[in-house]
Amino acid sequence: MRSKSVGAVVLAVATVVTSCATTPPAIPVIGEASRVSALNGSWSGQYFSSMTGRHGSINFALAAGADTAYGDVLILPNTTRSLTGNDAQAPSKPEGSVPVLVRFVLAAQDSVFGTLQPYEDPASGGVLDTRFTGRLHGDRIDGYYFTRNGKTGESTSGEWSVRRMRAERAPK
């Protein structure tokens, strides 16, 4: 009987550890309540830099009434670029892609500002520091991002855009 209870405990611990490892950390969303609530819902889109050719996907979700969101940016290998084509056939995480976490978002007036977690540049090996800004237009946010390579000092930029997939309403 004791081996069954030890096995159950081991299974429970393994389940908790596995679920913690796959859940991305919460992203603090700061701003006036009305500005933060304007971001409620699930957002999805893409980014592209004509300077580097780097591109990828963006996913972000903020539940109604919450002050933290969940999301990430996925850097795709240049061979998978299909920003205007049919992305439905592309795998959700192609081989060679690099996930990057969003660290912080500030909602102010009709704009958002934020940063990504520093991450290693797949090309140079340097650590990249990325900041972004965007403007909210209903169910769409369009913006720019700026990246600085800590190893080379090189700065690059690009454009990004996301659309709200579904909005969530705050409880009354």
Q: What is the DSSP string of 120-157?
A: E-TTT-PEEEEEEEEEEETTEEEEEEEEEETTT--EEE
Is residue 17 domain-resident?
no
For residue 167, the model assigns a pLDDT of 56
Of 161, 166, 164, nearest to 83 by C-alpha is 161
State the pTM of this model.
Answer: 0.74
For residue 42, the model assigns a pLDDT of 95
Measured distance CA(56)–CA(61) in Å, rounded:
17
Domain count across the chain? 1
Domain that holds residue 117: 26-166
Measured distance CA(60)–CA(45) in Å, rounded:
9
Bridge-partner residues for 142, per DSSP? Answer: 135, 161
For residue 24, the model assigns a pLDDT of 72
For residue 104, the model assigns a pLDDT of 86
Is residue 6 domain-resident?
no
Q: What is the dihedral of CA 75, 76, 77, 82, to 10 degrees?
A: -140
Per-residue model confidence as pLDDT tens for the chain (172 residues): 544 433 333 333 333 333 344 567 899 999 999 999 999 999 999 999 999 899 999 999 999 999 999 989 999 877 544 444 444 444 455 666 888 999 989 999 999 999 999 999 877 889 999 999 999 999 999 999 999 999 999 999 999 999 999 655 555 5
Assign residue 117 the CATH number of its domain: 2.40.128.120
For residue 114, the model assigns a pLDDT of 95
- Tabulate helix, strand, coil % of the chain (nearest 5): 20, 45, 35
Measured distance CA(47)–CA(67) in Å, rounded:
25
Is residue 19 domain-resident?
no
- Please list, residue by residue across 120-139, b when 16 or more beta carbons sit within 10 angstroms of its beta carbon and e when fewer do: ebeeeeeebbbbbebebeee
Is residue 135 domain-resident?
yes
For residue 79, the model assigns a pLDDT of 52
Is residue 7 domain-resident?
no
* H-helix segments, the chain: 2-22, 33-37
Of 91, 95, 48, nearest to 73 by C-alpha is 48
**Contact between residue 37 and residue 66 where contact means Cβ atoms under 8 Å apart:** no
The upper half-sphere exposure of residue 152, i.e. CA atoms within 13 Å in the direction of its Cβ, equals 13
For residue 123, the model assigns a pLDDT of 79
Measured distance CA(76)–CA(48) in Å, rounded:
10
